[in-house]
Amino acid sequence: MREAQLRNLAVNQIGYPADGRKSFVCIGQGGPFEVVDSAGGEAVYRGETAQPRFDEAAGITLCTGDFSALTLPGSYFIRLGGENSARFVIAESPYAELQRGLLKAFYFFRCGCDLEEEFAGPWQHKACHLADGTVYDEPGRKLDSVGGWHDAGDYGKYTGPGAKAVADLLLAYELYPQAFREPLPLPESGGGMPDVLHECRYELDWLFKMQDERTGGAFHKLTTKQFPGLDVMPEDDLADLYFLPVSATATGCFAGVMAMAARVYRPFDGEFADRCLAAAERAWRWLADHPDAPGFTNPGDVGTGEYGDNLDLDERYWAAAELFRTTGDEAYHREFLVLAAQQFPKYDLGWANMGAYGTIAYLFGDRAKADPALYGRLLDGLIAEAERFAAISASDSYGISLTPTDYSWGSNMVVLNRAMLLLLAYHLGGSKKYEVIALDHIHYLIGRNALDISYVTGFGDRPVMHPHHRPSVGDKVAQPVPGLVAGGPNRGLNDDCMLEHLQGMPPAQCFIDDEQSYAGNEVTIYWNSPAVFVVSHFV
């Protein structure tokens, strides 16, 4: 459990881009402040905080201090009223190491291979989950289950969430290839392909195994029937594995991400790209043959993450958009137009609502082939959503797009998904302010928040130390696996640890750095993936 005393001055504990907006947040009434050179101890900038205001989400009176005029690279801290902030840097590109750490986290999520000391350091462990899995509703049928990423703090592997994570990383590579030039390294590094694509391929190779060879549909998930104990290392989790039944949502996600991968990998490996496209098209045929497939529900004897979702229009919409963008086939365009006329969220980037991925694929595709009216409506809608986030951010003391009610389970995913959408809107011709606001979301993640904590393990001077993450608990290494994004404040207090320690706390303070807090301090691949996208923009 976190025991560090809360500082009254919250900064990005890594630093600020030299040419960007720079500010800190102070609890209380504020006043004159200094920016102090860490090396020489001399004040290099002086200013006055803005007028204090009560922040509803944080439940405290706050004021901000702006020092954007300071652009000289160096190491600094804020001094105000005899108190010092965390040290931070001002640099041309302060987030390169953070970006690499967020991406390297996916290597630590790998299942089915040795994590070797050369690449994993003290967090090495042996290969895990090597047994075949049983098809749940066909007990005599066993299939190869090895590979992919563990989903979260547990060892389940899920088609939909895995597809979202890969999609975020592939989008990051498509928009910011220069951010991935340096190897991490990984065991596969080299061969002319960037490591982000090597890492995504590790998951994609497993996703192929989630397509039922008999039907073309995608199994919803691959897990044991119940979660193992919190201190169980992956190689010691020997319970039987099960392929849970095919679902339309999983199949739609599978088709979407495979069509996307076919496009991205084409310059590097044509044979692999062909395989991805064939898998996507077969999954699409399953979707076409099952227009009324029911949503997924855990069987009564299965207690692992359900990822239940009764609406599959958004996944079908994404699949049609990616297949159209990749192939140019007008048949997929016609299907997309029909789906686009239906009512469902088209600008959400979460695992349950995948509509934004379809919208993005259409807007970033060949505009000459798009329907002009639909293209305009989708673009206007995405910009309107960015404007909504900008308005929320303007009223928030920390500059992020969460209202008090948005501090729910996985609130940091919401922070990062919204920052991601702001950047996508910026790329599509939206206001420069969207980029500035997205950077404020990074500042929040790395310490400029109500708890003066970095929500990324291993980064910042007060990072999360006790994530709900089985390898970090069970490996006997003092430091947790680095580069993991914690879920963040959750006003729902959905676990016993939160209920015991956080009753009555305001939404933005409903977080405890305790390994028992799975509803606030767990980690997942699809919280890391939008973080990679957003930080890559600023590398």
Which DSSP string corresponds to 1-52?
---PPPPSEE--SSEEETTS--EEEEESS--EEEEEETTT--EEEEEEPPPP
* Residue 192 dihedral angles phi and psi, to the nearest 5°: 85, 5
What is the token pair recorded at 191?
């061969």
pLDDT of residue 1: 45
**Integer distance in angstroms from the first to the last C-alpha of the chain?**
32
pLDDT of residue 2: 43
The answer to whether 324 and 334 have CB atoms below 8 angstroms apart is: no
- 70-94 burial: b if 16+ Cβ within 10 Å, else e: beeebebbbbbeeeebbbbbbbeeb
The answer to whether 30 and 63 have CB atoms below 8 angstroms apart is: yes
Query: Pick the catalytic residue: 150, 220, 522, 537?
Result: 522
What is the token pair recorded at 78?
């804020």
What is the token pair recorded at 478?
């003092």
The answer to whether 279 and 319 have CB atoms below 8 angstroms apart is: no
pLDDT of residue 4: 55
The answer to whether 416 and 486 have CB atoms below 8 angstroms apart is: no
For the chain, how many helices (H) and strands (E)? 15, 15
Q: Identify which of 530, 449, 439, 440 has the alpha carbon closest to the alpha carbon of residue 489.
A: 449
Dihedral (CA of 163, 169, 173, 175) sign: positive
Domains of the chain listed by start with CATH number? 96-370 (1.50.10.10)
Residues for the chain: how many in total?
A: 539
Within 8 A by CB and 6+ apart from 23, the residues are 64, 65, 66, 67, 68, 399, 443, 448
For residue 2, the number of C-alpha atoms closer than 13 Å in the C-beta half-sphere is: 22
Query: Pick the catalytic residue: 468, 469, 514, 515?
Result: 468
501 is catalytic: no
The C-alpha atoms of residue 221 and residue 209 are separated, in whole angstroms, by 11
- pLDDT in 10s for each residue of the chain, 539 residues: 444 568 999 999 999 999 999 999 999 999 999 999 999 999 999 999 999 999 999 999 999 999 999 999 999 999 999 999 999 999 999 999 999 999 999 999 999 999 999 999 999 999 999 999 999 999 999 999 999 999 999 999 999 999 999 999 999 999 999 999 999 999 999 999 999 999 999 999 999 999 999 999 999 999 999 999 999 999 999 999 999 999 999 999 999 999 999 999 999 999 999 999 999 999 999 999 999 998 999 999 999 999 999 999 999 999 999 999 999 999 999 999 999 999 999 999 999 999 999 999 999 999 999 999 999 999 999 999 999 999 999 999 999 999 999 999 999 999 999 999 999 999 999 999 999 999 999 999 999 999 999 999 999 999 999 999 999 999 999 999 999 999 999 999 999 999 999 999 999 999 999 999 999 999 999 999 999 999 999 99
148: left (phi over 0), alpha (psi -120 to 50) or beta: left
Angle, CA 294 vertex, CA 289 and CA 299 arms, to 5°: 130
Q: Residue 468's beta-bridge partner residues?
A: 522
In 171-263, at which residue ranges do the beta strands (DSSP E only) sit? 219-223, 242-246
What stretches of 109-158 show up as alpha helix (H) in DSSP? 117-120
Query: With a threshold of 0.85, does the pTM exceed it?
Result: yes
The C-alpha atoms of residue 241 and residue 238 are separated, in whole angstroms, by 9
Taking each helix axis as running N to C, give the angle between helix 355-363 and helix 372-394, from 0 to 180 degrees, rounded to the nearest 10: 120
The C-alpha atoms of residue 12 and residue 453 are separated, in whole angstroms, by 9
The answer to whether 112 and 129 have CB atoms below 8 angstroms apart is: yes
Residue 314's SS3 state is: helix
What order do you get walking across the sheet with 157-158 strand by strand?
142-143, 133-135, 242-246, 219-223, 157-158
Residue 91's SS3 state is: strand
Strand 142-143 relative to strand 133-135: parallel, antiparallel, unpaired? antiparallel
What stretches of 221-371 show up as alpha helix (H) in DSSP? 248-265, 270-289, 313-327, 330-340, 355-363
What order do you get walking across the sheet with 9-10 strand by strand?
9-10, 23-27, 60-66, 53-55
The C-alpha atoms of residue 275 and residue 373 are separated, in whole angstroms, by 34
469 is catalytic: no
Query: Pick the catalytic residue: 151, 513, 514, 515?
Result: 513
SS3 of the chain: helix, strand, coil, percent, to 5: 40, 15, 45
The answer to whether 73 and 32 have CB atoms below 8 angstroms apart is: no
118 is catalytic: no
The C-alpha atoms of residue 237 and residue 240 are separated, in whole angstroms, by 9
Distances (CA, A) of 532 to 160, 166, 437: 19, 11, 17
- 200-233 burial: b if 16+ Cβ within 10 Å, else e: bbbbbebbbbbbbeeebbbbbbbbbbebbebebb
The answer to whether 437 and 443 have CB atoms below 8 angstroms apart is: no
